[in-house]
Amino acid sequence: MPSVGVKLYSVFFKFLLKHRLQNRIQSEDSSSSSDPFGVTTRPEESVSPPNPLFTDGVATKDIHIDPLTSLSVRIFLPESALSPASGSHSGKSRSFNSLAGSDLLLRRNSHGSSNSLSSHKSEARRSSYVYTTSSASSSSGEEVYRGYAPSSSGKCRKLPVMLQFHGGGWVSGSNDSVANDFFCRRMAKHCDVIVLAVGYRLAPENRYPAACEDGFKVLQWLGKQANLAECNKSMGGLRRGGGGGEVKKSDASKHVVDAFGASLVEPWLASHADPSRCVLLGVSCGANIADYVSRKAIEAGQNLDPVKVVAQVLMYPFFIGTVPTQSEIKQANSYFYDKPMCILAWKLFLPEEEFSLDHPAANPLVPDRGPPLKFMPPTLTIVAEHDWMRDRAIAYSEELRKVNVDAPVLEYKDAVHEFATLDMLLRTPQAQACAEDIAIWVKKYISLRGHEFSY
């Protein structure tokens, strides 16, 4: 059973969540129209500012990618990107072959943690990037960017890209919250990937399909960035500051832009991102978005080139349906997110004329939901023992396995919904173990052919 502290915090969390949902309903009733620009965070959220320096092994920056909406991303670049490319990997060797075998439903009983990918900070590596600490303006009066800027040598290490979609029951949460920032930093270091945390529009200001379309729009933006980077490379590379290590804003105007001038080449992604190894990771309702984006990527096909979704991770998906499962009956009043409050969240998210617990965004088991399941990418599903939504997530994974999709399930004993991402649970051994398990599985699909690692 969960600890007494978790139980007490769950009571407080439910009270606070119910209050916020009721406020959302009242604010919607008092508003005559919705704003398509939308919001991606709430005033009550504790946010973490971006830090473009590798103070803890990961540098971050925020980018607003759509001028017509509030859609944004936070980039998490691990310091391992500064290492020279190598086919070798030092670290603890572990086996994850059991996920591909017959025992596809695993129950995690041990909560111990293992060594994560270490961050090396040698002077040799520091010489490969610009790391400015000068004042906010240069001697010429131009504003100076104080943070990491890729080397102009063009010999930068390429890392896979992970799109991360936060949870929050559609109406709360943000990509720059303190908890989500901590989780994304952890995933960037454990998986050795560039994480793009998506700040999608929240409900009820923007109902379905706004949040889901925002997720796919980021995938399209990633493809555009890759194509712009190739064009920029053919024109002689990115212009950067001189020996002083300063990157001036005037240089940005010389970068290649798209047809409408709306997108500059993002230097971190241009130098370090490999979009052909893209992983989607969704937390709670973010898992629903990840599954939606996977389906849209299948439909788009080669139009997304060079982006390729090679795997997805669904962490305790926010699935529901009209016909209840056993866990929905027995654990309807479970910890943190009980069923009545989740139904209220769905009412705030889905348009009134479309509301149904069997809506394609809510129930993955409804027929004619999209592309055939056999085309879905390998899918790792994380479920918690004390989560009423667990059975439907397991059933979806079983349907994927029936059509030969690699779709293992990791079930964590004595765990609750959002046990690995909720603020008070982030530093528990169980949350650490979950991050390591995800990294082990993901690396099967993002390792370069010929340089596969043994974990």
Is-contact 293 215, C-beta < 8 A?
yes
- Non-local (6+) Cβ contacts of 349 within 8 A are 170, 171, 203, 204, 207, 208, 211, 285, 361
Residue from 284, 294, 334, 397 carrying the catalytic annotation: 284
Report the distance separating Cα 264 and Cα 246, nearest Å.
18
Catalytic (active site) residue 417: yes
Is-contact 243 149, C-beta < 8 A?
no
Closest CA to 24 of 320, 361, 347, 353: 347
Parallel/antiparallel/unpaired status of strands 247-248 and 144-145: antiparallel
Report the distance separating Cα 132 and Cα 149, nearest Å.
9
- Non-local (6+) Cβ contacts of 272 within 8 A are 77, 81, 150, 156, 157, 158, 159, 194
The number of angstroms, rounded, from the C-alpha of 250 to the middle of its chain's C-alpha atoms is 32
Cα R_g (the chain), whole angstroms: 22
Report the distance separating Cα 454 and Cα 168, nearest Å.
35
Catalytic (active site) residue 387: yes
Residue from 166, 272, 359, 417 carrying the catalytic annotation: 417
Amino acid letter for position 231: C
Tokens of 227: 């194509």
As separate numbers, helices (DSSP H) first and strands (DSSP E) second, the chain gives 11, 13
Tokens of 178: 């303190």
Report the distance separating Cα 424 and Cα 417, nearest Å.
13
Residue from 214, 274, 387, 391 carrying the catalytic annotation: 387
Can you tell me whether residue 294 is helix, strand or coil? Answer: helix
Q: Secondary structure of the chain: what % helix, strand, coil (to 5)? A: 35, 15, 45
Catalytic (active site) residue 90: no
Burial class (CB in 10 A: 0-12, 13-18, 19+), 422: buried
- DSSP letter assigned to residue 114: -
Report the distance separating Cα 159 and Cα 162, nearest Å.
10
Report the distance separating Cα 33 and Cα 368, nearest Å.
32
Tokens of 347: 């009412």
Which residues carry out catalysis? 284, 387, 417
